Amino acid sequence: MGGMGGWGRKRGLRWAAAAGAVAAVAACGPVDTGAAVRPSATRAHGTSVASGGACVFVKPDGARKFGHVGWGFRITGTDRWVYGAVENPSNALYTSPGGDIGAWHAEGTYARMLGDMSRDAYYPGKSTHPYSRHRCTGSSTSDVNSARAMIRTVEKRGFLVGVDPETGDLGSRDCLDAAYDVLRAYRTRHLTPAYPTEIPNLWVETLVLWSDSALKPR
């Protein structure tokens, strides 16, 4: 099964429960139907500016309402954030490692991150439904170098939802896997594990200690 080495993640089972789950690949693709952590000089969501922070960006109506997610994390002690996503513009169930999966990342201020995500500024193609929701949290732990390394990993490892044609195993390497793996590498506090029921919209609702705000184009 497509694992993350020693992390022992359980993947792919969320898509095996029903035939309709195959269509959920669009959760990381272009088929859409439709109180953040704000850094300051002193405090941000109950933590000092020297602490870290993380955000999850959501397209709730993506993929027949299975959802689609992107990610962002603070460069510790600054107002600089690194953010990105795996968009899967081909809408394919499988793309081999090294193939085009619409992976991208950028860096900027918190305000720029929100603006870019709200407009899908880096979307590979045209997006009629940008990210419309974001959930954020402060984090007293952070590992920017490990998160950057994980970005390089997820951008090269291809895309998978369902059966891996190379191994015959059921697994996933999709938008949620990318967001979860990057934020876990960052050592984000209050990051809920993504286990067998990890449909993007269901997983987002488990982030109970995170803020929850609408994201409007800016």
pTM to 2 decimals?
Answer: 0.81
What's the CA gap between 11 and 139, in Å, rounded? 25
How many beta carbons lie within 10 A of that of residue 154, not counting itself? 26
Burial of 214 (0-12, 13-18, 19+ CB in 10 A): exposed
Tell me the mean pLDDT in the region 14-38. Answer: 43
Q: Determine what percent of the chain is predicted with pLDDT higher than 70.
A: 72
d(CA 207, CA 218) in angstroms, rounded, equals: 25
78-102: pLDDT as tens digits? 999 999 999 988 889 999 999 999 9
pLDDT at 22 > cutoff 90: no
Across 32-41, 147-156, 169-178, 201-210, least confident range? 32-41
Q: Any idea which of 103-107, 126-130, 193-197, 212-216 has the lowest mean pLDDT? A: 126-130
Hey, what amino acid is at 197? T
Alpha-carbon distance of 151 to 58, in angstroms, equals 18
